[in-house]
């Protein structure tokens, strides 16, 4: 009985209730949502760009007067994406705010005894998958892809609904006009499972 009580106490102390506030796309065709680290909720917009190429946009208020947007693009060898403009625009109820993408960061995995490192690409330069293509292994094909990440910070108070206007992009040499994506503010409570 004493061991059972100790086990229950340790299990309870390894979890925490968390409250998350984030933006979720209104259009169900872009919405991806779920939970992570136990039952911590999240949502993001997933926009298809080409066969096996998509971009994800994860937006949340980070401070009283700031909304942060993370942009993630995964590319395999030979795939390319190029933003024609580094400015993204957030349409609020009473104003429109433009802000620039930060440089994209991509991780180059270590190999042959050398440590991994990051490379940085300017937001309007060509993002090209090729850095990790030699790591293709049958049981983990994900390691062969390059994940490009960037961020945009909008100086704005969070509102219930906002619209994100994306610049045109070239994907694998083909010009695309991306959709405007409407987001709604979501607040959810979850349980974070902490492993120590």
More confident residue, 54 or 111: 54
How far, in Å, CA of 174 to CA of 51, rounded?
Answer: 12
Position with higher pLDDT, 143 vs 22: 22
- CB distance 15 to 194 below 8 Å: yes
Write the pLDDT tens digit of every residue in 137-154.
Answer: 655 555 668 889 999 999
Residue 7: the pLDDT is 43
**pLDDT above 80 for 115:** no
Distance separating alpha carbons of residues 61 and 20, to the nearest angstrom: 10
- Spatial neighbors of 163 by CB under 8 A, at least 6 apart, are 90, 91, 180, 181, 182, 183
Residue 100 contacts residue 60 (beta carbons within 8 Å): no
Residue 13, helix vs strand vs coil: helix
Residue closest to 181 by CA, chosen among 46, 54, 42 = 46
Using CB atoms within 10 Å of the CB of residue 3, give its burial: 0 to 12 exposed, 13 to 18 middle, 19+ buried: exposed
The pLDDT tens digits of the residues spanning 61-113 come to: 997 789 999 999 988 888 999 999 999 999 999 999 999 999 999 988 766 67
pTM of the complete model: 0.80
Share of the chain above pLDDT 90, in %: 44
pLDDT, mean over the chain: 82
């Amino acid at each position: 009985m004493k061991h059972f009580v100790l086990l229950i106490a340790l299990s309870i102390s390894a979890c925490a209730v968390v409250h998350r506030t984030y933006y979720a796309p209104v259009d169900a065709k872009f919405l991806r949502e779920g939970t992570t680290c136990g039952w911590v909720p999240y949502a993001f917009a997933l926009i298809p760009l080409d066969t096996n190429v998509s971009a994800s946009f994860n937006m949340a208020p980070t401070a009283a007067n700031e909304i942060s947007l993370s942009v993630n693009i995964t590319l395999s060898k030979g795939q390319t994406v190029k933003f024609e403009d580094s400015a993204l625009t957030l349409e609020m109820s009473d104003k429109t705010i433009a802000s620039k993408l930060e440089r994209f960061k991509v991780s180059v995995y270590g190999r042959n005894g050398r440590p991994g490192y990051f490379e940085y690409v300017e937001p309007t330069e060509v993002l090209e998958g090729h850095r990790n293509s030699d790591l293709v292994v049958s049981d983990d094909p994900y390691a062969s892809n390059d994940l490009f990440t960037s961020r945009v910070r909008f100086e704005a108070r969070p509102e219930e609904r906002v619209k994100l206007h994306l610049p045109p992009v070239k994907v694998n040499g083909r010009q695309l006009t991306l959709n405007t994506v409407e987001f709604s503010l979501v607040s959810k409570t979850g349980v974070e499972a902490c492993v120590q």
